[in-house]
Amino acid sequence: MGSFEVTILGASGGPDGGATQCFMVRPMGCRGLRSICVDGGAGFGEISQILARSKDSCKSELLESFYANDFEPAGQFFDDKASISVGFPQCMIGSLEHALEKQNTFTKAMEIYMGVKEYYITHAHLDHIGAMVLNSPLACDANNEDGKLIYALPFTLQAIEKHIFNDVIWPDLLHCGSNRLKLSRLTDGIPHVCTVFPQWDIIPFKVHHGFSASIVDKRVYSTVYLFSDRTTKQALLVCGDLEPDSASDGEPLLEKAWEYIAKRVTRGNLRGIIIECSSSASTPKHELYGHMSPAYLVGQLSRLREMYGDPNALAGLNVLVTHVKTIISEKDPRLVILQELREAALQERLDVRFSMAVQGYTFSF
Amino acid sequence: MGSFEVTILGASGGPDGGATQCFMVRPMGCRGLRSICVDGGAGFGEISQILARSKDSCKSELLESFYANDFEPAGQFFDDKASISVGFPQCMIGSLEHALEKQNTFTKAMEIYMGVKEYYITHAHLDHIGAMVLNSPLACDANNEDGKLIYALPFTLQAIEKHIFNDVIWPDLLHCGSNRLKLSRLTDGIPHVCTVFPQWDIIPFKVHHGFSASIVDKRVYSTVYLFSDRTTKQALLVCGDLEPDSASDGEPLLEKAWEYIAKRVTRGNLRGIIIECSSSASTPKHELYGHMSPAYLVGQLSRLREMYGDPNALAGLNVLVTHVKTIISEKDPRLVILQELREAALQERLDVRFSMAVQGYTFSF
């Protein structure tokens, strides 16, 4: 029995501009509609679409692909042993139907959106915050008594406050008097007790995300979040964009996250890692722009295993891959990367289970 | 025979975060894939979706609604006499199929996206630029020799340069050395000769768009663009968000645009107006936040007619309504607003034809 249910509202790595990163995270089997989201690249619109197309069956579903076929069977994108369901978790839909049986899709979607009480933002790049911003007038609605909190490390909060909610790019809903949308600062490496789900500690780690495009040697950072359930002792790592420390000769940052996990999370209690792999193995390193490749990702998983000091430390670990970039390709690059990851892991004798994070599915960890 | 073909890549007024304003504008019947876009709230992703779902029939199509029904028949959203087709214009699809018969949807979408040579941005609010920004790495691709130009009035360009392409919210692709994405400044009220379609003058007019959310009396501005074909003498007005000058006791701005049109565009040569109407008649004025209501919109059309000094000056004019906001409602607010507009126009004896701008349709003007 796992601890975490993650519904993928968006997982695209752009640049097509589809639903980008937003993962709704809840304790397994939790009743009611309360949730938190890691990143806000998707939101209310995607909730509506997922509700409208949700069906009972799972792997027989067809997914939007637009490569070899416009739609591909979903099963190809998932590990056979991964625990996956279509749409929102059943316990959530149950809460919804009880209250709102006759309501239309947008009304139901609004209930689910209003249930998102906290965002944990990895970094302020537009594909990780866009929908959160566009949806924000709803958060300031008079009916939303609780409001919403935006958590992040200081560098991310500063960017959001200065460049987004500034009455130029978007109405300044942080300082408009409604008091329903607030920023809240986290500290690198320090556990934060989640208000929505108090059994969770959420620990942010600053990580590298390449360099500035226009200023030489100016580094860009992102954040990974470790969710740690104090009751079950189980943990889930949720990443945004990132690269290995070594990719840019950076100070050890991701290394510290691995150290923390290997030290604090007992082998087997690490239930899953949600992590990006933007580009395929054929992409030159200088075109990764602060992102992961299959070699980098398998390398980092090997590094974590090494820190556990046990060749079987990650056996059976579910690794959910996100943020694959849209490119010109005959085959869906998500399927290309999945195959490359599995092959690279086999070579490293790394017995993990790779699945692709696909919008509209719930993964149990 | 009209002069303009407009394909709606996005027309949502948020805050659901669906495909927001982006109108692809081309001369009627133009071969090839070259185009310009007014605003960039939708883009490559929406082009892909429109290509994938394009069919031959038109008004039998079902549209995503998520209100009374998840999908509604398209015909309800359009005036009976409006000239409408599903998907991209046939002459454009013809150019595409000639070159790329066997290519997949993303490859075709990339060709269409690469054909967008210029953006004309109305203002820098995120719902009018988001997809343009997310797609921008493609614009800087080595294969995109021409690059893309972003045109706007200075207040909009400054916002985009300072707050978006700054290596914080998005990689600074304006100053990264690729030279493929550039800003280009327009002047209020001064015709700009369109490089892509040299028969067009494009004239920007600064307009009011309410006030800052946090700073008292700080005004927010937007832009409307008049497309004027020097060959046919026909014209099309394309607006972004706006409010009447009187709504905020502002200086005459929209009034100047109406004056210009009534003076320079012969009655009958004004082929259409694409304009927002965000909220229904039941919305209190103080909750319009710089947007149009049915009463405001019909009032402004009456004002334009008055300037022509001819009660039949706008007879048969196609008015395409955009930017309707998603709200909790039994009936799709787009259908509510369409009905309110028609009733208000009838009262004013204003014989215009209202249709709703719906994503994935091409309107001929």
Residue A328: which CATH number?
A: 3.60.15.10
- CB contacts of B136 in chain A (<8 Å) are 15
Closest CA of chain A from B215, distance in Å: 8
Mean pLDDT of A291-320: 97
At B24-70, the pLDDT tens digits run 999 999 999 999 999 999 999 999 999 988 754 544 578 888 898 88
CA distance A118 to A139: 11
* Number of independent structural domains in chain A: 1
B51 alpha-carbon distance from chain centroid: 19
C-alpha dist (Å) from residue B272 to A276, B207, B224, B238, B303: 46, 19, 13, 8, 16
At A173-185, the pLDDT tens digits run 999 888 899 999 9
> What share of chain B in percent tops pLDDT 70?
97
Task: Decide: helix, strand or coil at residue A58.
Answer: coil
Whether residue B17 has pLDDT greater than 80: no
Task: Tally helices (H) and strands (E) across chain B.
Answer: 8, 17
Closest CA of chain B from A332, distance in Å: 10
CA distance B38 to B23: 5
CA distance B256 to B201: 17
Predicted pLDDT of residue B98: 63
Test B212 with A45 for CB contact under 8 angstroms.
no
CA distance A234 to A261: 11
The answer for residues whose C-beta is within 8 angstroms of residue A208's C-beta and 6 or more apart is A219, A220, A221, A222, A242, A243, A244, A245, A247, A248, A250, A253, A254, A290
CA distance A13 to A359: 12
pLDDT band at A55 (very low <50, low <70, confident <90, very high): low
Task: Using CB atoms, pick whichever of B134, B212, B330 lies closest to residue A17.
Answer: B134
For B105, nearest residue in chain A (alpha carbons): A66
Closest CA of chain B from A172, distance in Å: 6
B213, A167 contact by CB (below 8 A): yes
- CB contacts of B66 in chain A (<8 Å) are 48, 52, 104-106, 109
Task: Using CB atoms, pick whichever of A126, A214, A330 lies closest to residue B169.
Answer: A126
For A53, nearest residue in chain B (alpha carbons): B70
Closest CA of chain A from B167, distance in Å: 5
> What share of chain B in percent tops pLDDT 90?
81
Dihedral angle sign, alpha carbons of residues A231, A232, A235, A238: negative
Predicted pLDDT of residue A146: 80
Test B289 with A126 for CB contact under 8 angstroms.
no
Task: Using CB atoms, pick whichever of B15, B159, B173 lies closest to residue A213.
Answer: B173
CA distance B338 to B333: 8
- CB contacts of A109 in chain B (<8 Å) are 16, 66
A5, A320 contact by CB (below 8 A): no
A221, A155 contact by CB (below 8 A): yes
B37 C-beta neighbours (distance < 10 Å), count: 25
Predicted pLDDT of residue B56: 47
Predicted pLDDT of residue B62: 85
Predicted pLDDT of residue A100: 56
Test A163 with B167 for CB contact under 8 angstroms.
no
For B218, nearest residue in chain A (alpha carbons): A167
User: E strands along B90-147, which residues?
Assistant: 116-120
pLDDT band at B100 (very low <50, low <70, confident <90, very high): low
Predicted pLDDT of residue B144: 76
pLDDT band at A1 (very low <50, low <70, confident <90, very high): low
Among A59-63, A131-135, A322-326, the minimum mean pLDDT is found in: A59-63
Task: Tally helices (H) and strands (E) across chain A.
Answer: 8, 17
Mean pLDDT of A189-202: 97
Mean pLDDT of B320-325: 97
Higher-pLDDT residue of A144, B296: B296
A115, A102 contact by CB (below 8 A): no
At A131-168, the pLDDT tens digits run 999 999 998 877 777 889 999 999 999 999 999 999 99
Predicted pLDDT of residue A56: 46
Whether residue B101 has pLDDT greater than 70: no
pLDDT band at A226 (very low <50, low <70, confident <90, very high): very high
Predicted pLDDT of residue A61: 79
Q: Which of B328, B329, B332, B335 to mutate to test the interface with A (most CBs of A within 10 A)?
A: B328
Test B218 with A127 for CB contact under 8 angstroms.
no
For B158, nearest residue in chain A (alpha carbons): A168
Mean confidence (pLDDT) of chain B: 93
Quote the pTM value.
Answer: 0.96
For B42, nearest residue in chain A (alpha carbons): A17
User: E strands along B97-139, which residues?
Assistant: 116-120
Closest CA of chain A from B153, distance in Å: 14
Closest CA of chain B from A18, distance in Å: 5
Predicted pLDDT of residue A309: 96
Range of the domain at B115: 4-364
Test A48 with B16 for CB contact under 8 angstroms.
yes
The answer for residues whose C-beta is within 8 angstroms of residue A55's C-beta and 6 or more apart is A61, A86, A87
Mean pLDDT of A249-256: 97
CA distance A287 to A309: 33
- CB contacts of B12 in chain A (<8 Å) are 45
pLDDT band at A63 (very low <50, low <70, confident <90, very high): confident
Higher-pLDDT residue of B292, A215: B292
Test A134 with B15 for CB contact under 8 angstroms.
yes
Among A50-54, A123-127, A329-333, B198-202, the minimum mean pLDDT is found in: A50-54
Test B107 with A46 for CB contact under 8 angstroms.
no
Mean confidence (pLDDT) of chain A: 93
Interface predicted TM-score (ipTM) of this complex, two decimals: 0.95
